[in-house]
Amino acid sequence: MKVLLIGSGGREHSLIWKLNQSKLVSELACLPGNAGISEIASVFPIKVHEIDKIIEHVLLKQYDFVIIGPEQPLAMGLVDKLKKIGVKVFGPTQSAAQLESSKEFTKKLCSKYNIPTADYGVFDNLEDAKSYLKGMRAPYVLKADGLAAGKGVSLPETLEDAISELEELFSGKFGNASSKVLIEEFMEGQEASFFAISDGVNVLPLIAAQDHKRVFDGDTGPNTGGMGAYSPTPVFNDEIQNIVMNEIIIPTVKGMAADGHPYLGVLFAGLMITNEGPKLIEYNARFGDPECQVLMRRLDSDLMDIFLKAEEGNLDIIKELIWSNKPTVNIVLANKGYPGKYLNGSIIKGTDEANAKGEVVVFHAGTKYNENGKLCSEGGRVLNITSQADTLIKALEKAYNAIDNDIVWDEGFCRRDIGHQAIK
């Protein structure tokens, strides 16, 4: 099969790496991809939000199957458009992707189908939001309803800060995405990311992973897209997985189908494991990044077969997936200044040397080859150093060893405490 993947991050490099191992795949392409992806797939300079150009390209190249990595094209209806031209595609339609693109949509679904989540109110004006806020306790949880590139959530500690955040949200901080604002009850507990795949009716559980959202060690500094991940995570066991499947994931898939939005794709549940049991923080309509990279390192089943069966509505044929039980980590190397301003174009060396030793697999995120053919940075999160070993500590040692001894990139930095919750 001739397969096209949409996206350019570390998530997409790990998906391409895994798809490249499938006997079902004869040709791989990626839009727009990155330097690492270009080593194993054809890449074309079309951005993920250029929906019409993507459709044109798909018609020209006659792909058999398209897979969508990031949320933006899902929310823009790329899946609907591909289906309209008769192309097989893995990913939710625009209406099903509302699970990520509208927090209010997800909250209403949770209320309707009794899915455990934080209590909330939703507001379209400052005055009502302010008076609701006064009945809540700190820390306050404020969320823009729509997509805000992972930055739409804030957790102010004081009422004063919460009110000024509300004012910013309603004065268009995230444009249309914050024309509605959710105020939620604060949930206490440990967080985990859990993944499942649905064909609209059947659900196949994947595994859980732990992300590290803050930029600096000790979970300090601003939120990022994710600075590292590991799996398995002690926060999540079989018992919790059963509860999550039965109380959260399956009711969601059934509810979405009953409401006329059958969900075909990856369901990424952000969960809080509270004293009262697991509760949903939010859904994403795609794999997580940096979580996907550790999932792909642990997956021993054929990824293309899973995507195909899901697209056909035959996911029930797959009884079980095969996973490595070995602790797996992903350390993100980011550009100095990220998640704020940073410079692109600095030269990176040593990724091939690191890969050649066989101790790590390096997935690229924001990288490109410059006009002299040298690998350089082109984004905030730039490289993912993944490794696997018999223990988490050994896996971390291998990854940090490659970062310290093989990779040469002066403008890069990483967190030094990935996996700290599990090691404790």
Residues that bind ligand GLY (CB under 6 A): 150, 211, 225-226, 284, 288-289, 291
Parallel, antiparallel, or unpaired: how do β-strands 214-216 and 220-223 relate? antiparallel
Q: How far is the CB of 309 from ligand AMP (least distance, A)?
A: 29
From ligand GLY, ligand AMP, none, interface partner of 282 (C-beta below 5 to 8 A by class): ligand AMP
Q: How far is the CB of 208 from ligand AMP (least distance, A)?
A: 14
Q: How far is the CB of 38 from ligand GLY (least distance, A)?
A: 23
- Cα end-to-end span (Å), the chain: 46
From ligand AMP, ligand GLY, none, interface partner of 24 (C-beta below 5 to 8 A by class): none
Chain contacts with ligand AMP (rule: CB under 6 A): 118, 141, 153, 155, 184, 186-187, 191, 213, 270, 281-282
Q: Which residues contact 228 (CB under 8 A, 6 or more apart)?
A: 211, 212, 290, 329, 330, 331, 332, 414, 415, 418, 419
From ligand GLY, ligand AMP, none, interface partner of 186 (C-beta below 5 to 8 A by class): ligand AMP
Measured in degrees and rounded to the nearest 5, phi and psi for residue 137 equal -110, 155
Identify the DSSP state of 188: P
Measured in degrees and rounded to the nearest 5, phi and psi for residue 271 equal -120, 150
From ligand GLY, ligand AMP, none, interface partner of 281 (C-beta below 5 to 8 A by class): ligand AMP
User: Which lies closer to ligand GLY via its Cβ, residue 247 or residue 289?
Assistant: 289
Q: Which residues of 282-311 are buried (b: 16+ CB within 10 A; e: fewer)?
A: bbbbbbbbbbbbbbbbbbeebbbebbbbbb
From ligand GLY, ligand AMP, none, interface partner of 226 (C-beta below 5 to 8 A by class): ligand GLY
User: Which lies closer to ligand GLY via its Cβ, residue 288 or residue 419?
Assistant: 288
From ligand AMP, ligand GLY, none, interface partner of 153 (C-beta below 5 to 8 A by class): ligand AMP
From ligand GLY, ligand AMP, none, interface partner of 187 (C-beta below 5 to 8 A by class): ligand AMP
From ligand AMP, ligand GLY, none, interface partner of 184 (C-beta below 5 to 8 A by class): ligand AMP
User: Which lies closer to ligand AMP via its Cβ, residue 271 or residue 315?
Assistant: 271
User: Which lies closer to ligand GLY via its Cβ, residue 227 or residue 244?
Assistant: 227
Q: How far is the CB of 127 from ligand AMP (least distance, A)?
A: 23
> Which of 181, 170, 184, 180 shows the shortest CA–CA distance to 140?
184
> Which of 177, 169, 224 shows the shortest CA–CA distance to 9?
224
CB atoms within 10 A of CB 54: 24
Q: How far is the CB of 172 from ligand GLY (least distance, A)?
A: 23
CB atoms within 10 A of CB 60: 9
Distance CA 215, CA 157 (A): 19
From ligand GLY, ligand AMP, none, interface partner of 141 (C-beta below 5 to 8 A by class): ligand AMP
Q: Is the peptide bond before 70 cis (omega within 30 degrees of 0)?
A: no
User: Which lies closer to ligand AMP via its Cβ, residue 187 or residue 392?
Assistant: 187
**Helical spans, DSSP H, in 85-158:** 98-101, 103-112, 126-133
Structure tokens at 299: 């997956």
Q: How far is the CB of 339 from ligand GLY (least distance, A)?
A: 13
User: Which lies closer to ligand GLY via its Cβ, residue 284 or residue 387?
Assistant: 284
Beta strands in 304-344 (DSSP E): 328-335
Distance CA 299, CA 393 (A): 21
User: Which lies closer to ligand GLY via its Cβ, residue 22 or residue 106?
Assistant: 106
Q: How far is the CB of 206 from ligand GLY (least distance, A)?
A: 14
User: Which lies closer to ligand AMP via its Cβ, residue 129 or residue 385?
Assistant: 129
CB atoms within 10 A of CB 26: 10
User: Which lies closer to ligand AMP via its Cβ, residue 186 or residue 369?
Assistant: 186
Q: List Cα–Cα distances, 151 to 174, 226, 231, 254, 381, in angstroms.
A: 9, 12, 24, 30, 15
Q: How far is the CB of 291 from ligand GLY (least distance, A)?
A: 6
From ligand GLY, ligand AMP, none, interface partner of 369 (C-beta below 5 to 8 A by class): none
User: Which lies closer to ligand AMP via its Cβ, residue 28 or residue 162?
Assistant: 162
